[in-house]
Structure 1
Amino acid sequence: MTPKYLLDNKIRIFKSPPEESLANNNLSIYKNPIFYESSNSFLKKKLDYYFDKNNIDKKEVIGLFRKNDKYLAFTCAMLWGGINATRSENKSNTFYSKFLKHPKDKILKDIDIVTNNLEKKEFNKAFEYYRNEAKIKGIGPAYFTKLFYFIGVENDNIPIKPLIFDKWTQNAYLALLLQNKEIDKVKKYFKAIKLNFSNSPGLVEIDNKLYGECYESYINDFDKWANEIGCTSSKLEEFIFGQHLGKNKNPENPRIELWKIVTSNLEIVFN
């Protein structure tokens, strides 16, 4: 059964714009000498193009994966997602700087391994691989699932497309399961929520031991719901991701609408 929220917003889903880049208009921070000198000469030369125009478009990142330029593609996917390069007293210790220090050969090997997992629909296995064997300091689920997403977009051998799983899509997934009254899944995967912080919607807490399994369930459910609506799961994810609350506090922002579904059903789950 497709959640009522998705059926009611079918027109909006088809009209939803692509997810914006968090790094756009701020890309110059990544050319800070601390980071720039940490990059190998190959990466410097390739990244200069994006630094000069101060923008990385989603379509460009997809194009890099299509060309099989894996290391640059992964780096640009992180920049497109706005990987932290500022929130640290020591700029050489930010998530971006840690990413640059991670061995290139290891990154390329791990991309090949996880691509194989995704082609086999082993989403749980891919997720847990990047939480453990392929762990990159500072790159958690919100970021390595961006890698999964871009790997899947242009790969015809991946029929069910992996999606980004960050705090907004996790909130949305809980809301849609609650609306569908899939309480067994809710109680299995979601352990708690943290209510309003900094005047923003709260966060959900997923059982750490079942994180990868929850991710796989999320992908399969979105694939099923998208098929029933007649769109791609990626388009569905773009819609429920919503807009930045600093730019759009309209009550019709999906981030706000979906969080209201969560808070109106708390007594069902977290009593």
Structure 2
Amino acid sequence: MADGGLTEGIKIDLVRLHETWMELVFPRQRTAVHSVLGKWQPRARGDRIKYRIWAALGAPIVGLLYPFLLVGFAVRFNARRFDSATTRLGIVGIVVLTALLWGGLTALTRLRLELAGSLAVGAASIVAVVSAALAAIFARIGGRGTTVVFGYPFAMNAVFLPPVVAALYDPSLSGVLDRSETLAIFLLDNVLYVYDVNEYLRASFSLEGIGVVLMWVGIATPIGWFLGFLVTLADLVRPRSGGTGGGDTDGEAAEGSA
């Protein structure tokens, strides 16, 4: 029974994802069951050909996107927990909680590192606390676009920055720097080679000190955008409970087990 429910859920998600693809070009493709007019169907021969070609092009794209959709469900589920925590604690509560977390890291580094290292981690922790506050603010007062463009990147920087700065000064975490160098080389050679961006970065920055921090800020920000895109995709396919887009009321319960 459980397997049947899972299979049916996957089928519904794939159909909705394909309908979303179809609606990029053709009207009334999604949630047609709730429409008085029903799903739009092509009548002219040329429209039928275009309709079938677009549907065929969408099939492999849907297959490629579906794993990312599952990740989007998981991210959205945890993002809702953050939203709930923000609602309960308020912006001030989030700031206090983040300050306690990264303040504890700063205190720990004071026992292990020289004063310069501890001060650097403390500065990174302050930036992380401010980033967490901004992420909470954008999540509460902004729409979807504001949350994706600003909220998620600030949240990622609030998570990444203090540990990376601590790794710069703690010899026991030197493996982080080694992996950072490997990752930087991979990104420069395989991602940022267009328009000689990699050559400019190599000439302008060295992978030490602030260079490592800027690299991780540069990584955390697009990761935030990517996660925001996945959540947006999840909202399109399986709308939030009580939201628009078909009145899906079982989305939250289903995504918790996705």
**Structure 1 and Structure 2 fold alike (TM over 0.5):** no
Name the TM tier (shorter chain). 0.3 to 0.5
TM-score by length of 1: 0.31
TM-score by length of 2: 0.32
Whichever of the two has the greater Rg, that structure is 2
